[in-house]
């Protein structure tokens, strides 16, 4: 129904001072799979991603590069950030840039509302600031330096000295929302996940919130305050608002943007990395409360991707470009591996060896080989026509029951952002069907015409199982599953793959007898380990 709320999910607003690495692609992929799954359930969905283009880091990077900040971000967005969406097959509904007029105007309007509501005031700021984080730090956030940084206080994220700032700024009355935030999280414990993140946020709030500078006078690259053009809005208090401005906050009443805001707000999920949890689970909901808006229903903080035991980082040269992996394994395998091998919400390590091993065993030898064998046997033994299935035995009923269980588990898991559990549920169904093929030996049945009816049942069962796998894995591996859907002839008899519903996937015997089945290219070609 048009008046029902859409499922609204966002990635973090990525900082655009350099090219994206697979840590960024990991988050975007998770967001894409979650929203594709919701669409496959028949839900109205809005999926937002975008980039944060203001702040000190961008200004300094542009200065170093001898160009204006706008030229710097325009080049990075065009050459690096937009292409990576295509590289990982993201089907986002919108891409917001914080330099866009729609964002800038609505951010200014938002802060005018917060100021009118009495939550903004002028004062002096003096304290540590990490340019890498674009964050005002509390003394307790810092660590002691060693070696070349001995006797200095460092940012624990970047391992570099913080800068000491002193300037007159406008402040946001964060302290006014301590009790409201605690009450909100006690009433809605699901609003920050996983549980470790929830505990961290509640502990931080209970320690006491202090007012925070919401503007900068020493930075020129940002959105000016409408009531004080000597100051720009602090980059985080500009960037966080993308989740509202992109879907129509502050738009003309009655406009399409305003109608979208009414349809999608609040966010159902703000996906973030755990290093920016405080911004999203403390500052962000407090800002919304100050403006009279409902906070996000869930902030989900996933873990870090580790390479050689270190967090993926551009500054430490552990950042790997997504294309380096996808050029070898393909985008479907990239999406499969990172959500299969790492429990979403926890840190996880990446290695080429592990990815190659899983690709070979689970995709090439598992699902890919099953699809290849099944379609080839229909072509060889039944001239490419799906045979009818009569007199199902306990072996087929076991497959039917396994599909129902797998679909139910996967649906629950994907909706909970528990991707690994959902993927394994479908993988185990693939394994079950591969075992069924080995047990039934259709190549042996084909040698005796007396077994023709039994062979029909086995071939039909394999193809019907593949039909369900294509639907269940489509949000995860859309390219390969589209190919499988075509090989099964399902497009012509069942309609587009994206229109198949999760709630209906376990209904057996959907492919009608006589459907043309063809053996196509391998879904997951074998890759030499040296590749």
Active site residues: 21, 24, 130, 133, 155, 158, 311, 314
Strand partners, 8: 46
Cα(163)–Cα(213) distance, integer angstroms = 15
Of 275, 138, 272, residue with least CA distance to 212: 138
Of 228, 265, 232, 270, residue with least CA distance to 248: 265
Q: How far is CA 109 from CA 48, 186, 279, 436, in A?
A: 21, 31, 21, 62
Cα(65)–Cα(83) distance, integer angstroms = 22
Strand partners, 225: 228
Q: In the structure encoding, which two tokens stand for residue 107, read together?
A: 């951010």
| Alpha-helical runs (H) found in 362-477 | 369-382, 394-415, 419-440, 442-445, 452-473
| E strand or H helix at 212 | strand 212-213
What is the CB neighbour count within 10 angstroms for residue 173? 18
What is the CB neighbour count within 10 angstroms for residue 131? 17
| Alpha-helical runs (H) found in 314-361 | 322-329, 331-341, 352-358
Q: In the structure encoding, which two tokens stand for residue 78, read together?
A: 């065009």
Q: How far is CA 101 from CA 57, 96, 97, in A?
A: 21, 11, 9
Cα(418)–Cα(423) distance, integer angstroms = 9
| Cβ proximity of 263 and 6 under 8 Å | yes
Residues counted in the chain: 531
Of 75, 37, 82, residue with least CA distance to 58: 75
| Cβ proximity of 125 and 136 under 8 Å | yes
Query: What letter does residue 223 receive in the DSSP assignment?
Result: P
Instruction: Report the Cα 19 to chain-centroid distance in Å.
Output: 18
| Cβ proximity of 222 and 54 under 8 Å | yes
Cα(185)–Cα(180) distance, integer angstroms = 9
């Amino acid at each position: 129904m048009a008046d029902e709320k859409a499922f609204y999910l966002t990635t973090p607003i990525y900082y655009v001072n350099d090219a994206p690495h697979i840590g960024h692609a990991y988050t975007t992929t998770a967001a894409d799979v979650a929203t594709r799954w919701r669409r496959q359930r028949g839900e109205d969905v809005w999926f937002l991603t975008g980039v944060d283009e203001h702040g000190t880091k961008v200004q300094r990077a542009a200065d170093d590069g001898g160009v204006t900040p706008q030229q710097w971000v325009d080049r990075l967005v065009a050459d690096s950030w937009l292409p990576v969406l295509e590289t990982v097959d993201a089907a986002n509904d919108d891409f917001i840039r914080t330099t866009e007029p729609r964002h800038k105007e609505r951010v200014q309007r938002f802060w005018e509302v917060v100021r009118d509501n009495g939550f903004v005031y002028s004062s002096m700021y003096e304290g540590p600031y990490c340019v890498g984080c674009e964050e005002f730090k509390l003394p307790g956030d810092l660590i002691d330096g060693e070696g070349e940084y001995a006797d200095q206080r460092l940012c624990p994220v970047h391992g570099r000295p913080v800068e000491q700032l002193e300037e007159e700024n406008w402040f946001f009355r964060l302290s006014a929302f301590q009790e409201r935030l605690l009450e909100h999280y006690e009433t809605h414990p699901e609003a920050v996940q996983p549980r470790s993140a929830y505990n961290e946020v509640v502990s931080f709030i209970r320690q006491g919130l202090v007012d925070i500078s919401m503007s900068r006078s020493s930075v020129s690259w940002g959105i000016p305050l409408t009531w004080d053009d000597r100051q720009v809005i602090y980059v985080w208090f500009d960037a966080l608002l993308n989740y509202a401005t992109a879907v129509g906050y502050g738009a003309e009443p009655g406009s399409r943007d305003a109608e979208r805001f009414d349809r999608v707000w609040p966010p159902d999920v703000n996906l973030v990395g755990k290093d920016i949890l405080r911004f999203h689970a403390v500052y962000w909901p407090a800002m919304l409360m100050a403006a009279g808006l409902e906070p996000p229903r869930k902030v989900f903080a996933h873990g870090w991707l580790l390479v050689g035991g270190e967090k993926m980082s551009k500054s430490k040269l552990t950042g790997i470009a997504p294309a380096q992996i996808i050029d070898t394994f393909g985008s479907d395998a990239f999406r499969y591996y990172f959500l299969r091998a790492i429990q979403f919400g926890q840190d996880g390590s990446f290695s080429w060896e592990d990815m190659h091993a899983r690709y070979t065993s689970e995709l090439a030898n598992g699902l890919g080989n099953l699809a290849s064998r099944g379609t080839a046997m229909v072509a060889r033994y039944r001239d490419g026509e799906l045979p009818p299935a009569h007199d199902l035995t306990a072996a087929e009923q076991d497959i039917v029951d396994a599909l129902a269980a797998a679909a139910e588990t996967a649906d629950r898991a994907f909706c909970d952002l528990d991707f690994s559990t959902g993927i394994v549920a479908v993988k185990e169904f693939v394994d079950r069907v591969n075992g069924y093929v080995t047990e039934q030996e259709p190549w042996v049945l084909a040698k005796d015409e007396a077994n023709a009816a039994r062979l029909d049942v086995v071939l039909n069962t394999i193809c019907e199982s593949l039909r369900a796998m294509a639907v269940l894995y489509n949000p995860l591996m859309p390219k390969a599953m589209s190919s499988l859907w075509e090989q099964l002839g399902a497009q012509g008899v069942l309609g587009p793959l994206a229109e198949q519903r999760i709630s209906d996937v376990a209904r057996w015997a959907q492919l009608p007898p006589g459907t043309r089945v063809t053996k196509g290219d391998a879904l997951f070609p074998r890759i030499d380990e040296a590749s």
